[in-house]
Structure 1
Amino acid sequence: MRYRGAIDEKVETMEVLRQNTEQPSPSVFPTPMDELCSMIQTVLVLDSKRLDCLGKMRKEEDLSIQELIEKFERGFSVDRDKETSTSVAPNNNKVLSQWSFFGVWTSIEFLKNLEFMHLLSASDKLIIVTNFAMNSYLLSSAFQSVTRQSDRLVNPDGTETISQSLKTMFTNCNIDRVRTQLVAKLCELQITSEEYILITIILFCTPSYGQSRQLNAESLSAYACEIVGEQQRKYYNALMEYCMTTRGGQGPARFQKIISIGELLAKCFGDVRDLVDLLRVFEPNFYNSKQFFIDSLNK
């Protein structure tokens, strides 16, 4: 059976959402369901743009996360540079390859283009984006891998994100868990694109799920905490409403299952960070030394 969570089916799902509600109000003002569908559609379009730019990206710049945030205020750099998929293809000669570098880059751009981010100061943007950039990439990569009907993390070109050859390098490191666990969870849940994008924003607005070594709510300014907290509640309620609309009496249970992805994502991040630390020490030729890739792991 074909997986039903693919991005290209979001319009169909939106129509189902509308059909499951009561008769539309004759008022000219948007109904709550209209607002829910519009909110989900907006972030899905932005995420689809991230995926499109990831496939086209061919950059080699070595920027920090701070430099990337400050250099490009809005939009995606691929659009500004007019890069195309006919450019030189990524060189996948590194474990956690160039695709991962591109994935973290486009995830940073995705996060900083969320509608509420312009309300934050530069320092608050840096804190919250650094905390979730790698997690955002891992969750996006896992979701796209599932839509490709893969049982492990794969790149846009179908190659494996984390090579099987790593098992011969680190026999005591659970490489299979890094490669498959998050993908298996999303596949088991048969997560929809709407659920995927809503949990992404919820976790982004929940610093504790970032598993940062330094970040907690006190790291952000009081104003930023207020803005981020408001967004967390907004998307939290949206996910609950979506689950109740699509699952009926099973909505609360479904909601809890989607929320539980956060704990697994945090573990996946820790596994990836440990793996990269091993590569840095024992296999430096396979180590991705790009600055913001390092920033996203050592936050």
Structure 2
Amino acid sequence: MTAESSPESYNSDYLPVDLDSLDTLEVLDTTHTTTENTVAVVSLMEKCAVCGKPAFCYNYGVLSCNACKMFFRRVEVDKITYTCKYWNKCYDGLEFVDVKGTSPRCRACRYQRCVTVGMKYLPPGKPELELELINQADLQFTSLIGNLLFMDSRRRHKISNCYTPENCTLKEMVTRSKGSRMTLKTEDQRVDLHEWSFFGIYSSVELFMSFDFMDTICLEDKMVLLQNFALKSMLFTGAMRALAANVDRVMTPDGKDVYPDVMYKMGIFSADFLNGIRSRLVARLMELKVTNEEHVLLNVILFCNPALRPLSPATIKIITARQKAYSTALFQYCSLTYQQAGPCRFADLLALATILNKQHEDISYLTTLFQFYVPGLEYKKLFVEVCHK
């Protein structure tokens, strides 16, 4: 605690947010077309874990509003004891304490809810307790990102070094036992352009299926989530590969142009259309200098999209909680890395979803016309399912 810290700011982890911009950031709708493409992303204006009112910072280790922060502090500092007249069950079954007063406004139960959600008062002069809590939070934060980075590195290794002759459907991948069917490529193994696209989607499906929460989701909902984002994840990963290689357009893992110059000479598509597909996303990633940490977090945030339909209420609840956790981690990363510019950085990253949606639409259009002009061309089943959902 610094010399300037006041009792009100002590124990508070303030996240600098431009309050004037919160109305536009409360829900980031990344498309204006269909409900299926809408990405409902956790806003910067979160809810207080105690009462549900808007909260902009962490107090005593919990995201909470100023009123609940001061209430909790007053009880702890003044050692106040409240007694509930209703057996400490005033807010049972409610997500938040009842700030509207439709049930008894019980201070005892409000304080108990503060404790239940994790508020811990740190008396001045006990830095070791404060350090312990900070270390626990940091460990969870770094562990989450570390796990995502490991999973992504495993995916990148498979794309570059492994092969499968399969021509499976998405349902076959989702319903079979876990474990990759890809094997190491032989030295003389050659992979054509369409196979690279298939492998990119194939490895994305394997990645998302490896998340533990997918085991709790029904088959139909898994299909909805994967059909919506597997191709976008492949495009995102391909653009990150171009960023790492410092090239201005997407390339195959073996260094070939995904959209070679011969396509420009066919006369089917305009140069602007093809340039947009191969360079639009890469250019924005280069402009933002997106890091691997931001990539893996945003990848799973956009995958966990509760706005998709049809999804069951149970699945919506599961992926909303996951999206919130990953969004909080990304916002924390932005705040730590970019300081005052953290909220703007967070919004810029979420806005990449709009470009991914556009890329998906253009790829679907391109492959449809390609099949029309080249009748003998056959795509693998998985590619067709996620590209033309």
> CA separation of 1:193/1:127 partners in 2, compared to 1, >3 Å: closer, same or farther?
same
Which residue number corresponds to residue 295 of structure 1?
Answer: 385
Correspondent of 1:91 among 165, 187, 191:
191
Stretch deviating more after TM superposition (117-126 or 40-49): 117-126
Which residue number corresponds to residue 226 of structure 1?
Answer: 317
1:47-126 mapped onto 2 (5 Å cutoff)? 47-71=152-176, 73-78=177-182, 83-92=183-192, 94=193, 97-126=194-223
2:259 alignment partner AA:
I
2:247 alignment partner AA:
S
> CA separation of 1:55/1:243 partners in 2, compared to 1, >3 Å: closer, same or farther?
same
CA contact (8 A) 1:43 1:114 kept: no
Deviations along 1:149-173, one digit per CA (max 9) or x if unpaired, are 1111111111112222111122436
**C-alpha distance in structure 1 between counterparts of 2:319 and 2:128, whole Å:** 34
Pick the structure with more strand per residue.
Answer: 2
Q: TM-score, normalised to structure 1's length?
A: 0.82
**C-alpha distance in structure 1 between counterparts of 2:378 and 2:228, whole Å:** 19
Are positions 1:249 and 2:347 aligned together? Answer: no
CA contact (8 A) 2:306 2:320 kept: no
Query: How far off is 1:237 after superposition?
Result: 1.1
Structure 2: gaps spanning 5 or more residues? 1-126
1:35 alignment partner AA:
Q
1:1-299 mapped onto 2 (5 Å cutoff)? 25-27=130-132, 31-71=136-176, 73-78=177-182, 83-92=183-192, 94=193, 97-169=194-266, 170-172=268-270, 174-206=273-305, 216-217=308-309, 219-285=310-376, 287-299=377-389
Structure 1: gaps spanning 5 or more residues? 1-21, 209-215
**C-alpha distance in structure 2 between counterparts of 1:66 and 1:245, whole Å:** 41
> CA separation of 1:171/1:132 partners in 2, compared to 1, >3 Å: closer, same or farther?
closer
Query: SS at 2:184's partner residue?
Result: coil
**C-alpha distance in structure 2 between counterparts of 1:28 and 1:243, whole Å:** 21
Which residue number corresponds to residue 18 of structure 1?
Answer: none
Query: How far off is 1:57 after superposition?
Result: 2.4
CA contact (8 A) 2:302 2:353 kept: yes
**C-alpha distance in structure 2 between counterparts of 1:89 and 1:139, whole Å:** 26
**C-alpha distance in structure 2 between counterparts of 1:244 and 1:54, whole Å:** 32
**C-alpha distance in structure 2 between counterparts of 1:23 and 1:125, whole Å:** 45
Q: TM-score, normalised to structure 2's length?
A: 0.63
Query: How far off is 1:26 after superposition?
Result: 4.9
1:77 alignment partner AA:
R
CA contact (8 A) 1:57 1:102 kept: no
Query: How far off is 1:130 after superposition?
Result: 1.5
CA contact (8 A) 1:63 1:291 kept: yes
The total of aligned residue pairs comes to: 261
**C-alpha distance in structure 2 between counterparts of 1:148 and 1:267, whole Å:** 23
Pick the structure with more helix per residue.
Answer: 1
- RMSD over equivalenced CA pairs, Å: 2.1
Answer with 1 or 2: which has the greater Rg: 2
**C-alpha distance in structure 2 between counterparts of 1:84 and 1:160, whole Å:** 23
**C-alpha distance in structure 1 between counterparts of 2:243 and 2:375, whole Å:** 31
CA contact (8 A) 2:304 2:320 kept: yes
**C-alpha distance in structure 1 between counterparts of 2:131 and 2:287, whole Å:** 40
**C-alpha distance in structure 2 between counterparts of 1:23 and 1:106, whole Å:** 45
% of aligned pairs identical? 28
1:294 alignment partner AA:
V
Query: How far off is 1:295 after superposition?
Result: 0.2
1:293 alignment partner AA:
F
